[in-house]
Amino acid sequence: MTLLTLIGIGTGNPDHLTAQAVQAINAADLILIPQKGAGKADLADLRRLILSRVLTRAVPVAGFDLPERAAQQDYLGAVNDWHDAIAAIWAQTIAAHLPGGSGRVALLVWGDPSLYDSTLRIAARLAGVSVSVVPGITSLQVLTAAHAIPLNTLAAPVTITTGRQLRAQGWPAGAVSVAVMLDSGGAFSTLDPAGLRIWWGAYVGMAQQVLMAGPLAETGPQIIARRAQLRAEHGWIMDIYLLRRGDDV
């Protein structure tokens, strides 16, 4: 039996690793690291840096190349096909590097495997594999900590959504605070900015972290320009933001 442990590693800061994550990494017989091409090579490098700091014994490390998701109108169909392809690559990599096909495999997951991450859905496609999860610090936690703000206003709920949904559906009905993940860029610009504030962060928790905050009407265009600059500079970008209606923090 293969045990696959999905280990949340935070957002690029080795100090985000929990003691439980360190134990799980050192208990592994094989560690998998996703590679996403030259533009995102530093993500793989950061994972290797984390391993160099926490491993107390020699554990084989296997990199694998992620396939590209097809660009097609059927978004969910494209994502499911993509997940099938990733699962097949995981299975091939495990079979190639884990003698006998059984043992403990660790996969280092950015942030946490449970929050807008599909690692668990992909792992469910693997036959004969048992899955466990070690939670990690999420980009949402790092964002609010970096800005020194609470996630919610007093006694009020928080809506967590994606850039795609914000563009398609607009401001969620009845929402006060809206956390937006997986935005390809500037979905907030589709909203009426009146009465809205934004707290934005790129590369949160990493050495190149950039933060901006203020009224959406003023800060939104500045964020779009800065985001484009950062993407051109680094070749990739990961960002997240919190929107809030009203003056309460």
Architecture of domain 2-137 in CATH? 3-Layer(aba) Sandwich (3.40)
pLDDT at 36: 67
Render pLDDT for 88-100 as a digit per residue (tens, 0 to 9).
Answer: 999 999 999 987 7
pLDDT at 39: 53
Task: Assign 37 a pLDDT band (cuts: 50, 70, 90).
Answer: low
pLDDT at 236: 87
Coil, strand, or helix at residue 241?
strand
Name the helix (H) or strand (E) containing 233: helix 216-234
- Look at 70-84, 161-175, 217-231 and tell me which has the smallest mean pLDDT: 70-84
Q: Could you give the CA distance from residue 165 to residue 155 in angstroms, rounded to a whole number?
A: 25
Residue with structure tokens 């090579």?
Answer: 41
Radius of gyration of the chain (CA): 19
Render pLDDT for 196-222 as a digit per residue (tens, 0 to 9).
Answer: 999 999 999 998 999 999 999 999 999
- Residue 59 reports pLDDT greater than 70: yes
The beta strand positions in 48-89, using DSSP E, are 61-65
Average pLDDT in the chain: 92
Q: Could you give the CA distance from residue 18 to residue 108 in angstroms, rounded to a whole number?
A: 13
pLDDT at 8: 95
- Mean pLDDT over residues 162-184, rounded? 95
Q: Which CATH code of 3.30.950.10, 3.90.1570.10, 3.20.20.450, 3.40.50.720 fits the domain covering 140-245?
A: 3.30.950.10
- Mean pLDDT over residues 132-146, rounded? 96
- Mean pLDDT over residues 210-237, rounded? 96
pLDDT at 249: 61
CA distances from 81 to 69, 167, 222 (A): 8, 24, 36
- Residue 112 reports pLDDT greater than 60: yes
pLDDT at 73: 74
- Residue 181 reports pLDDT greater than 60: yes
Parallel/antiparallel/unpaired status of strands 196-202 and 239-245: antiparallel
Give exposure, 1-37, as e/b (b: 16+ Cβ within 10 Å): ebbbbbbbbbbbbeebbbeebbebbeebbbbbbbeee
Decide if 179 contacts 239 (C-beta within 8 A): no
106/128: higher pLDDT: 106
Q: What is the DSSP letter of 71?
A: -
Task: Assign 248 a pLDDT band (cuts: 50, 70, 90).
Answer: low
- Mean pLDDT over residues 229-237, rounded? 92
State the CB neighbour count (10 A cutoff) for residue 49: 13
pLDDT at 40: 58
- Residue 223 reports pLDDT greater than 90: yes
> Could you tell me the residue ranges of all domains in the chain?
2-137, 140-245
